[in-house]
Structure 1
């Protein structure tokens, strides 16, 4: 029987009751050990997700929404360094496209 009431918890029992935070920590520790994963905190997965999305070119507004930030400025302030790195990579990629075109054109001459 559902006991969660009107709330929807990210982590809950099958009945909808909230899980104790130490339950998630315990589960995550066992999961990392079972799959020989590096020692990172469960919360770090949130940052990893955001950084991977940024580096994949996903718009900051979408990332902000996924993270539950009410204001995109929160996302920009938190992940600004990753956005700058992604921008630098985009600039390098664009530059390589121009150099590639020049090489092809020079080869034809």
Structure 2
């Protein structure tokens, strides 16, 4: 943006995926080559995303490009701001409901904004937890092999944790049925 942020909280540190970081590095490299070729014809506003001559990209251009991707991939029609909503939703799910961490990423001024707008995500997890409790205690499903001392079954299902992997975090991720299903699906591909 070429304007002063509304509040101090508007300036933020954002943690990004390695893949995204590499894309930005590639864009910057191309941009530097264009700058060198154009010399004084390039107006440098120090933008990550800019036109060929360094000018800010118009919002309608971004919307048009997003619409092309939506149409090509057969995705549901959404507005650009939907990406923020999606990001917060997934981060809330993946963090196990760590509202403060998600608030820090989204820079909502108040944590209750996260809980009020995205609280339905946590409610769905609460419903699933109630279902798991019912299955474990009333339907006598063995959700945790240690509950019935199933040492043989447990030993058969054990795996070595690769060096450098946080075993506790891995167990937390694999303990989430949705994450386990996602990882299983990815492994098949």
Work out whether the TM-score is over 0.5. yes
Measure the CA separation in 1 of the matches of 2:78 and 2:92: 20
Q: How many residue pairs are counted as aligned between the two chains?
A: 100
Root mean square deviation, CA, Å: 2.9
Greater C-alpha Rg = 2
8 Å Cα contact 1:25-1:42 kept in structure 2: yes
CA separation of 1:73/1:45 partners in 2, compared to 1, >3 Å: closer, same or farther?
same
* Bigger relative contact order (CA 8 A; separation at least 6): 1
Measure the CA separation in 2 of the matches of 1:93 and 1:53: 23
Are positions 1:100 and 2:141 aligned together? yes
8 Å Cα contact 2:97-2:122 kept in structure 1: no
Are positions 1:13 and 2:54 aligned together? no
Q: What is the TM-score with the length of structure 2 in the denominator?
A: 0.43
Which consecutive unaligned segments of at least 5 residues does structure 2 have? 1-34, 36-42, 149-189
Q: Secondary structure at the match of 2:126?
A: helix
Which consecutive unaligned segments of at least 5 residues does structure 1 have? none
Match in the other structure for 2:99? 60
Measure the CA separation in 1 of the matches of 2:118 and 2:54: 33
Q: What is the TM-score with the length of structure 1 in the denominator?
A: 0.68
Are positions 1:3 and 2:44 aligned together? yes
